[in-house]
Amino acid sequence: MTSSTHSVANQVPPLVGHDVFGADAALREAVARYSTDAARARSTAAELGELGRTAGSARAQEWGRLANENPPVLHTHDRYGERVDEVEFHPAWHQLLEKGVAAGLTAAWPRPDGHLRRTAAFVVWSQVEAGHGCPLSMTHAAVPALRAEPELAAVWEPLLTSTVYEPGLRPAAGKAGVLAGMGMTEKQGGSDVRANTTEAVPLAEAGAYALRGHKWFCSAPMSDVFLVLARAPGGLTCFLLPRVLPDGSRNTFLIQRLKDKLGNRSNASAEVEFDGSTLAWRIGEEGRGVATIIEMVAATRLDCVAGSAAIMRQAVTQAVHHARYRSAFGGPLIDKPLMRNVLADLALESEAATALAMRLAAAQDRAAAGSAGERHLLRLAVPAAKYWVTKRCTPLTAEALECLGGNGYVEESGMPRLLRESPLNSIWEGAGNVQALDVLRALQREPQALNAFLNEVGQSSGADHRLDAAIKEVLTELSDLDGIEARARRLVERLALVLQGSLLVRHAPAEVADAFCASRLGGERGLAFGTLPNGLDLEAVVERALPG
């Protein structure tokens, strides 16, 4: 194009119109690998391809932009001074949710290979916009916790797992689908929920309680129903708290403020209060609140891994796309040896994240089908993956942004939004230290979890000497538990890396596995991205990451 002062050249065309699923070799291969039935694998790939093409469309990308540039607005009162406690969202937020729910992002539980399919869809659809993944994730995750109370589950599970998005505060009985949120964190304690002070007083109706207290973070406050922790006479207990009561009246759910957040701007995260007239129904036994809600937390933690894998994939895709079309010093950036090193290093991190997320999704399906070994693997691998994959997301996104140069620092590129979103998965559902300590708890209390882990990584035994040596090092580290708490991050990092290495050695192309083991397990790498050693096939690694 020519303007009156200069012609515009060497600007990169927007990355649009591609198939986000079809172009992601690591994701595609994982779906094929873990599907338990060939015909189902084909239909799942076809569905994911359709979702992937929608995710890559200009229309869906515009929904993501609009939902973030027009953040939610809280209305505490109506014009007459009555409390309404409603949050108003831009129509693009509803379009994103409608598509996400229709794509089955809350419908994993009733289906065979349901977690595999859903996690892949989550990785695809989160690349359009990350904020609305929060209610999708919580709605999906509420199901296993709710099953502790079969009568409540019979009413709510079909609505939570519906593929119909029906916004608006109305009685659940008249709705075709509902969304769920979670209320654990209070002002005085988030990680340490034992510090919760919200009180639950039993009422005459069996299972019903009145709640008084607050929640300091309560995201997606326009959800139909919340799983909350409160202190009943028998101790910390899990409750189901609907926003609209069965008789159609509003439950008391006082939204005091919305948080002004670093990122995640499309999503509303509220401070809420319960005034003693707030009604809730017990899920599970009194005093078993943490044990009950942990089922929900385990599923949302896995979504943090998948969500971070999605951000990383999106960031890498933008970086390689830019480097392919942008020239400097006589040729495309992608052909410059140093840029290729950076891109390959980013691509390795992204592929390892995807491989791990998808292995855990397959484990969820296998555990749901009765495999104790897979259940034990999840116990250790979910917090380890939550720790490591979410922690790698921010430095990766920052480096990918830099690949776009100055354009990457400008909002129009979409990279600043990705970077702002990046740290969140590492914080919510338990920050890094909490995950590392949870891995220690699993190691100390559930020996089968370590056995399942060793069994998994042992499947690649003998395939790569660096991986074998790294597994031995982990075992040495575990044999001396003196001062283990202070060393927990180091240990968990190694556990996650050997698991990723083992998956790549078994399933990824040789050049990817080789580069990963050389740089992440063999120690031949600097601290920054782009410091891979010589002698690796970096061109092939970058080629594999290209978005079509």
Nearer to ligand FAD, 96 or 182 (CB): 182
Answer whether 248's CB lies under 8 Å from 52's CB: no
Answer whether 46's CB lies under 8 Å from 358's CB: no
CB of 215 to ligand FAD, least distance (A): 6
CB of 137 to ligand FAD, least distance (A): 10
CB of 68 to ligand FAD, least distance (A): 14
Nearer to ligand FAD, 270 or 532 (CB): 270
Nearer to ligand FAD, 149 or 186 (CB): 186
Nearer to ligand FAD, 288 or 520 (CB): 288
- Tokens matching residue 369: 């089908």
Q: Kindly list the residues in this chain that would bind ligand FAD in the complex (CB under 6 A).
A: 181-185, 189-192, 217-219, 261, 264, 269, 424, 427-434, 437
Q: Which of 502, 506, 532, 538 is nearest to 518 (CA)?
A: 532
CB of 429 to ligand FAD, least distance (A): 6
Nearer to ligand FAD, 185 or 292 (CB): 185
HEC-encoded secondary structure of 109-172: CCCCCHHHHHHHHHHHHCCCCCCCHHHHHHHHHHHHHHCCCHHHHHHHHHHHCCCCCCCCCCCH
Q: Which of 103, 101, 171 is nearest to 139 (CA)?
A: 101
Q: Which of 401, 322, 311, 305 is nearest to 357 (CA)?
A: 305
CB of 206 to ligand FAD, least distance (A): 27
Q: Which of 87, 350, 401 is nearest to 218 (CA)?
A: 87
CB of 194 to ligand FAD, least distance (A): 11
Nearer to ligand FAD, 201 or 434 (CB): 434
CB proximity list for 368: less than 8 A, separation 6 or greater: 109, 114, 115
What is the rounded distance in angstroms from the CA atom of residue 377 to the CA atom of residue 533?
33
Q: Among all residues, whose Cβ is closest to ligand FAD?
A: 190
Q: Specify which residues 242 forms β-bridges with.
A: 225
Q: Tokens 């639950």 map to which residue?
A: 200
CB of 164 to ligand FAD, least distance (A): 23
Nearer to ligand FAD, 52 or 383 (CB): 383
Q: Which of 262, 246, 282, 243 is nearest to 151 (CA)?
A: 282
What is the rounded distance in angstroms from the CA atom of residue 270 to the CA atom of residue 319?
34
- The phi-psi region of residue 328 (left if phi > 0; otherwise alpha if psi is between -120 and 50; otherwise beta) is beta
CB of 200 to ligand FAD, least distance (A): 16
CB proximity list for 318: less than 8 A, separation 6 or greater: 15, 400, 403, 404, 413, 414, 415, 418
CB of 488 to ligand FAD, least distance (A): 9
Nearer to ligand FAD, 129 or 351 (CB): 129
CA atoms within 13 A on the CB side of 417: 22
What is the rounded distance in angstroms from the CA atom of residue 14 to the CA atom of residue 62?
12
CA atoms within 13 A on the CB side of 340: 18
Q: Is the C-alpha dihedral spanning 211, 257, 85, 179 positive or negative?
A: negative
Nearer to ligand FAD, 391 or 494 (CB): 391
CB of 274 to ligand FAD, least distance (A): 14
CB of 214 to ligand FAD, least distance (A): 11
Nearer to ligand FAD, 189 or 509 (CB): 189
Answer whether 498's CB lies under 8 Å from 469's CB: no
Q: What is the dihedral of CA 160, 223, 144, 314, to 10 degrees?
A: 90
Nearer to ligand FAD, 48 or 268 (CB): 268
- Tokens matching residue 7: 């012609």
